A and B are shown apart, each in its own frame.
Chain A
């Protein structure tokens, strides 16, 4: 009898051990990088600022609820500046994991600065909260340590663009398409996807120009002349914000009027592009319609107007623009918050399970959070839209594709 009681007591101790051993930490350490300077600063700082905004908001409220310890715990954001340098980023990601021993690892913004984190996180068996790194190569069946938080994975992101050109394009008279892209993981993948969608569609459209240029390109005048020589009916330019600024300015300066022109960032960072290209330079340009224009139903976190108001209050100097990347940073924060509220421990695979359990359930101001089985984001899609001027001369988005979300007809050819 005594032996049985002793065994039962020992078994009870063993079962209770994880709970008793797991003392609540004084803080949850979230490690991340940002680029305060360099080529990717303008897409990194809004994402990072939004994450910081959320941390301040939660800490002012006593922290985030962590189910593993059934209590609110303050957050400590451990953030280093990689200065847009991938080598520096590699060192700092390692430092976050091995020296700072962060509980959660969050990548910097954009595919270029996320790329070093993917391999490092995997090697250290650390789950990576990939904010906006949409490169297709990041997601594979043999890497369970990653999920994309806030942008659609690049292999599906440009589908509305390709579908519009192949399904609605021929009726409009679009037969010849030019593709110009920056040679990096983000836009290179989008170019591959567009090319594949167009070729697989079997539509009577032909790609007459298909060239990559270095991401550092700041001057497109000669390239625009080369594209013009091919007389395309539609031009797709896939680049980062500085590329779009230089490209669109050059298009206007040379006096070329492409009949149909798509760029990524007029939709994602509209304020930034408007400042640098001007309203007239953006008129009739096709782009992705951002979540701020779509008013998604929200079941967690702030709605767009609340977030926008808090952003303006927190960053009144306007040095960091409000746009798609700010929304992406806040979306990442919401996924982290929700993950901590459902994960039963801070074990990395448990965090993964918790993140994937949110797929299809979590609805934020960025749309429905949905993951494929490799961690690629397949919700939060952005329709194809066109920028037009309203009665007051301000830019407005007209969603044109898919048809079920369309708010107007496309203007083609560009007047």
Chain B
């Protein structure tokens, strides 16, 4: 049971790294608390449901679609909302109120459009285009995958793989591109970046768009990781994302990867040995990390860098 919980926790946690990384990118660059993060995740899930139900395509095709759509949505929302927030006396506090309102609006509109019922996608559809690879690796096109002698849902393995790729791409963006270097400069000291002539607005808009795009990509896998989604799904996702982000390090997107894995493994261990208490975990972890290491697991190292 321990080995199963650890491996399941790793797969689950890698996915949660993807869930939280967009939220942390937005906070790191703009110091904006995006309480609608989970709602963008939910919208990504509905894109996947649409791609599967209407176009009869592998939900993996929803990944680039959701990313592009929500990067564009992010750029538009940034222009509409963020400059006014940044001009206020207390942008962090105001952002909480503003994005809470946005979250409510998104949930209400989605409920009107799609109703309140649970929606999901057949598990066998995810990764159907990878069937030859799955047969070669696991000997089965739509069954579970075997790792360390234990069987796990193939959808978990695919979600974890995509999460690793997405986190890798975020790393490449931050550390191997010019825009990424500028982004890190803004994350480090926004006022100094502005003083050195960096177009902070452009960098922030890009980070906001990418943050929302990553949330939507995580959403594509939500119907597989959580069984189903509803328009109300965003609230829980936001809470868990915050736990993951604070655990890793608020303001450090790559710390989120570690936070996600720690969260995932902790969750599965609690579910195995103290199942009734599993849902308290995000809050317990938040309290513990804020008491013992407020900067998060990777906080100091990155802040200094």
Identify the A interface with B (CB < 8 A): 35-39, 41-42, 45, 84, 183, 211-214, 216-219, 221-223, 225-226, 229, 241-242, 245-247, 249-250, 252-255, 272, 275-276, 278, 317-321
Contacts and interface: CB of A to CB of B under 8 A. Distances in A.
A249 B155 CA distance: 11
A44 B12 CA distance: 31
B111 interface: yes
Given A37-B107, A276-B120, A213 B153 contact: no
B123 interface: yes
A276 B144 contact: no
Nearest to B116: A41
Contacts of A38: 232
B271 interface: yes
B227 A242 contact: yes
Interface stretch (B1-9, B24-32, B163-171, B287-295): B1-9
B117 A246 contact: no
A347 to B, nearest CB: 36
A42 B278 contact: no
B227 A45 contact: no
Given A37-B231, A45-B116, A321-B117, A254 B153 contact: yes
B149 to A, nearest CB: 12
A346 B228 CA distance: 44
Nearest to B227: A246
Interface in B215-253: 225-228, 230-232, 236
7 contacts: A42-B230, A45-B117, A84-B232, A212-B276, A219-B271, A254-B153, A272-B118
Contacts of B156: 221, 253
Given A39-B232, A320-B116, A221 B152 contact: yes
A320 B276 contact: no
B150 A42 contact: no
B214 interface: no
B236 to A, nearest CB: 7
Contacts of B231: 37
Contacts of A37: 107-108, 111, 116, 230-232
A275 B119 contact: yes
Nearest to A218: B226
Given A221-B156, A255-B144, A211 B275 contact: yes
B151 A217 contact: no
A51 to B, nearest CB: 16
B276 A36 contact: no
Interface of B: 1, 4-5, 8, 12, 107-108, 111, 114-120, 122-123, 143-144, 150-156, 225-228, 230-232, 236, 268, 271-272, 275-279
Given A272-B117, A276-B120, 6 more contacts: A39-B232, A212-B276, A226-B1, A242-B227, A276-B119, A276-B228
Nearest to B120: A276
B120 A245 contact: yes
A225 B12 CA distance: 15
Contacts of A275: 117-120
Which of B1, B123, B227, B276 has most A Cβ within 10 Å?
Answer: B227
Which of B116, B122, B232 has most A Cβ within 10 Å?
Answer: B116
Contact of A214 (B143, B226, B278): B278
Contacts of A41: 111, 116-117, 230, 232
A255 B120 CA distance: 19
Contacts of A241: 118
Contacts of A245: 118, 120, 227-228
Contacts of B230: 37, 41-42, 242
Given A42-B116, A219-B225, A245-B228, A213 B276 contact: yes
Given A183-B276, A211-B275, A226-B1, A221 B8 contact: yes
Contacts of A276: 118-120, 227-228
B227 A222 contact: no
B153 A222 contact: no
A278 B122 contact: yes
Given A42-B230, A221-B153, A254-B144, A242 B118 contact: yes
Contacts of A317: 115
A158 to B, nearest CB: 20
A255 B145 CA distance: 9
Contacts of B279: 214, 216-217
Contact of B1 (A213, A229, A249): A229
B227 A250 contact: yes
B245 to A, nearest CB: 20
A189 to B, nearest CB: 16
B275 A212 contact: yes
Nearest to B11: A221
A222 B4 contact: yes
Contact of A319 (B4, B114, B152, B225): B114
